[in-house]
Amino acid sequence: MRSDNIKKGLERAPHRSLLKSVGLTDEEMSLPFIGVVNSWNEVIPGHIHLDKLAEAVKAGIRMAGGVPFEFNTIGICDGIAMGHIGMKNSLPSREIIADSVELMVGAHQFDGMVMIPTCDKIVPGHLMAAGRLDIPAIVVTGGPMMPGIVGDEPRDVISLFEAVGQRQGGKLSDMDLKNLEDYACCGAGSCAGLFTANTMACVTEALGLSLPGCATAHAVDAKKIRLAKQSGMKILELVEKGTAARQIVTDESLDNAIRVDMAIGGSTNTALHLPAIAREFGLGLPLSRFDEISRETPHLINLRPGGNRYLIDFERAGGVPAIMQRLHDRLHLDVNTVSGKTLKENLDDFIIINPRANKEIIATPESPVHPEGGIAVLMGSLAPLGSVVKQSAVNQKMLKHSGPARIFDSEELAMKAIMETKIKPGDCIVIRYEGPKGGPGMREMLSPTAAIAGMGLIDSVALITDGRFSGGTRGPCIGHVSPEAAIGGPIALVRDGDIIEIDIPGRILDTRVSQEEMEKRKKMWKAPSPKVTKGYLARYEKLVSSSDKGAVFQ
């Protein structure tokens, strides 16, 4: 066993003494040591219950004959960090999470690990560490929040972000806003729609790194506790067989995960996280692969924010296994999973338990919600290296759009103009210098997009940025524009009034400015001074790659 490095032999007597000081017995010294990687904290709704899941995981490990050791990582709530300077810290936290898991597991030589994350950057940080360490690993994602009920209607956090614009536009009373504030977010779990956290949970299950049904089992459901115990037991089986993470995640399982992502209409942030995860598993994943798979994958379930269904509806319809059963003839079925079975065997088991997944919630490939998947990759003179949009959340009439650019060099400036009703139908809002280097940290832009939606402009105004959009964003919102403004990409050269052309079916993002004019502007352009000159974000700005490469450290 790998843990023998810290507990076997004469020279390890000091190590055994230290282990005994935390309560271990001689009998436990002969058992596998399992790291329980927990991102519990008291800040994030998606994480406030993970201490209970960790107890269940540890119970499962002990039942199966292992010794659990729990430790923690940091975790940032994107919703609380949204719309202000705090959001600069969100994406960069992914690298610290991966690094911290690597250091803890490497130093203490655990034989395997069960990872317990829930939210946006935390799940990918854990997955990146799993690929880097390449030991047996299972992920227990914490589960979605139930939708809140306000005025007899289900609501979620996006209801609040859009309510800001509605209140500003006089469409909502103070009391209505207060009711939403008090009841829309009703307890533990990741926000109730298909935003980034729940998308990443579904992707994790589709990769084969979570037990079947884990992604959509809700935070308050006893099913989640049972899955946590089963995961704790299963990790011992993987350790005994020597099944490490890289035997689970392969090019084929990555394709499966992207296909599920396209079928559910997931967050555009997966186009950042999956390439970063693939890299840690020693695999390549170009941005173009998302578009290739999207073009041949139907969108099968219309969840929030693009539709009106919540994760609880997806769970009751069968969850990720039901989607994969619908897509079975398009998937690589012989891939391994942490269940110890192949994907085909898992789906065969699912069909026995759920012979007919709910067709009202999950459409069939023959009659899909949309013929193509959720994400489209646009390229053109404004985004030579690519950009991404959640096309499944775009109104049909905005799939093609041209309009004058309204240029803002920060999210705050754009939000100010929106709230002062200075944005008109037809405008193309461009928010730049918010990329991985320019931010630094590539902030999500949920506040501007939600305000636009709340004001009733989401079907007439486009938003374009070298930053990111939340998984909760809907409408013609194009992010990850590469190269970013901070390194002189074309988005830095666009001016107020330039006509921008968007053709989502044609996968084009262009500016109607001649190449000669753009070259003149390029010669006049000067790189901005760094916004941050000390601390982690200053280091991050120096090390981070472009968004089309997953915003990984060079």
Round to whole Å and give the CA distance between 540 and 53: 32
At 23, the amino acid letter reads G
CB atoms within 10 A of CB 405: 23
Q: Residue 417 burial (CB < 10 Å; 0-12/13-18/19+)? A: middle
Whether residue 371 has a cis bond before it, omega within 30° of 0: no
Helices in 184-318 by DSSP H: which ranges? 196-207, 222-241, 251-264, 270-280, 288-295, 311-316
Helices in 300-384 by DSSP H: which ranges? 311-316, 319-326, 343-353
Which 3 state secondary structure label does DSSP give 259? Answer: helix
Cross-strand pairs, 70 = 36
Round to whole Å and give the CA distance between 416 and 534: 28
Round to whole Å and give the CA distance between 73 and 100: 7
Q: Which residues contact 40 (CB under 8 A, 6 or more apart)?
A: 47, 48, 50, 51, 54, 72, 75, 116
Catalytic residue among 387, 470, 546, 547: 470
CB 394 within 8 A of CB 476: yes
Which 3 state secondary structure label does DSSP give 285? Answer: coil
Pairing of strands 153-155, 148-150: antiparallel
Strand ranges for 85-128 from DSSP E? 112-116
| Closest by Cα among 305, 303, 312, 294 to 363 | 303
At 550, the amino acid letter reads G
93 part of the active site: no
DSSP 120-152: TTHHHHHHHHHHHH-S-EEE----BPPBEEETT
Residues forming the active site: 470
